Structure 1
Amino acid sequence: MSSYISSELIELNGFQPLQISEGITLPKKIQYACGLNVLDEWLNVDFFDDALIWNFGHIGGVPKSVAEGVYKLNLLERHPFPDNYFDYAFCEDFIEHIHQKDAIFFLSEVLRTLKPGGVLRLSTPGLHGVMSLHFNRPDLNSVIENQDAAYTRWGHVHFFSHESLRTMALYLGFRKYRQRSYGKSWHKKLKNLETRAEQANYKINIYAELTK
């Protein structure tokens, strides 16, 4: 059952998300593909794709926090932000939904728009965790059954390991790649941002901070 009450919801019919335009004041922190998780004092952006619209229908409308605090943005196109702008960036459970070539593009745009010394914190289901949980029995029926649980059901298309994500980040130009754990960071602004503790408990997700 939804935790939202009717006074906190806006009817989906006719709803139009906020658009980024010239002249708006941009925070120095950005959250990519935020979904329903709206962070105060951050620029929250999302594509408002079918998965998010499904959530709106499921809870009976658009939460006011989303309607008033999330901007529509296609992360697979050039981002409408200046070079060297953001101090911090955060992205939870997004890059597993896009193909590897698209992840390269996305990370290159994050790098461009971070200021020197800026940090991107990433959380995503890791390949080792997915294999351990879903593909730990070498028989065909098990593999076929778990393709749905690991991929199809959630729209997942690619899982990174720390090794592959580090390789991509460093080749693109990030100076540092540091492995992290759920909610833990040396940066105060990046602590306790994740919302999916169950993925940490099952050791599915990997957490990393990429420094420009």
Structure 2
Amino acid sequence: MKKKIKNLLSYSPYNLYETVRNKMNQAKKNKKEISKINFYLENNEIKKIQIGCGTNFLEGWLNTDIKNNDKIIYLDAGEKFPLESDSFDFVYSEHLFEHLKTGQQLNMLTESFRILKKGGVMRIATPNISFLFRLFENPNTPEMIDYVNWAVKNIPHLFEANNMVVDQEEHYVYVINNFFKAWGHQVIHNISSLSKLALQCNFAQVRECTVGESNVLDLKNIERHGTIIPERINFLETMVVELVKL
């Protein structure tokens, strides 16, 4: 009790007002978000949610991101989802998973499993660490030379390497280093590690796909990362998995 009183007295009247106001504003925002979620669920027969949509707004999907607006619902992939269990047919995420820490990745998989209906599918597109090892082992193949040349000329973090490192044959080392630390990357998987993480979170089946391809019509041609970077570059970097809840 004394500690609570001490903490309360440590606030100035203005700080106390600000704290209460911020909590009330957040409660209003949460209520508004729930209202938008309910509107989506009531007006769509097939329930599809995209996590971390960024600028990739998909029609017919509940598009969510940590930065929300009138069209995009606030959702933090590392926290419990404000969604009912067994309520969605599909979950989709493109180039978000690698930005999460291990605990956040497990949360995203566990929560996605929870909100999926039986037979529901989660599709994840994310960089493949195996690609980086292929680049390390075989930097002089035509496709890897093309990739490295594109990277050092187009990625701001690599401009110094492009302009200052004279021996271009060693540029691939800088590209690999950059990939691990740039853009807020936290954990980059290969097919095996991501599959085992999904199975740990109770998914029963893992399917490896290529970008844009799926046996499920609702999951075909929904990747858009290839419109931000060249499609050939995206195909080299990206792996796609579909996780099935049975």
- Per-residue CA deviation, residues 169-206 of structure 1 (Å, 9 max, x unaligned), is 11211111000001000110000000123576241111
Say if 2:221 is the partner of 1:207. Answer: no
Pair 1:101–1:135, CA change in 2 (3 A): farther
Quote the residue 1:20 is aligned against.
33
Does the 8 Å contact 1:135/1:142 carry over to 2?
Answer: no
Q: Structure 2 CA distance, aligned partners of 1:184 and 1:82?
A: 29
Q: Cα offset for 1:144?
A: 7.0
Aligned residues: 176
Match of residue 96, structure 2, among 94, 97, 107:
94
Task: Tell me the amino acid that sits aligned with residue 52 of structure 2.
Answer: A
- Per-residue CA deviation, residues 48-79 of structure 1 (Å, 9 max, x unaligned), is 2xxxxxxxxxxxxxxxxx73310111121110
Task: Tell me the amino acid that sits aligned with residue 68 of structure 1.
Answer: D
Match of residue 129, structure 1, among 128, 131, 134:
131
Say if 2:107 is the partner of 1:105. Answer: yes
Match of residue 165, structure 1, among 174, 194, 214:
194
Trace 1:56-205 onto structure 2 (pairs within 5 A). Answer: 67-133=69-135, 145-146=174-175, 148-197=177-226, 198=229, 201-202=232-233, 203-205=236-238
Decide which structure has greater strand share. Answer: 1
Quote the residue 1:13 is aligned against.
none
Larger radius of gyration: 2
Corresponding residue SS for 1:68: coil
Unaligned runs of 5+ in 2: 1-28, 42-46, 140-169
Q: Structure 1 CA distance, aligned partners of 2:138 and 2:185?
A: 18
Quote the residue 2:51 is aligned against.
32
Tell me which stretches of 4 or more aligned residues in structure 1 moved more than 4 Å.
134-137, 141-144
Q: Structure 2 CA distance, aligned partners of 1:147 and 1:133?
A: 8
- Per-residue CA deviation, residues 148-186 of structure 1 (Å, 9 max, x unaligned), is 520332111111111001111112111110000010001
Q: Cα offset for 1:25?
A: 2.1
Q: Structure 1 CA distance, aligned partners of 2:52 and 2:121?
A: 17
Task: Tell me the amino acid that sits aligned with residue 21 of structure 1.
Answer: I
Does the 8 Å contact 1:199/1:205 carry over to 2?
Answer: no
Quote the residue 2:154 is aligned against.
none
Trace 1:43-54 onto structure 2 (pairs within 5 A). Answer: 43-48=62-67
Unaligned runs of 5+ in 1: 1-16, 49-65
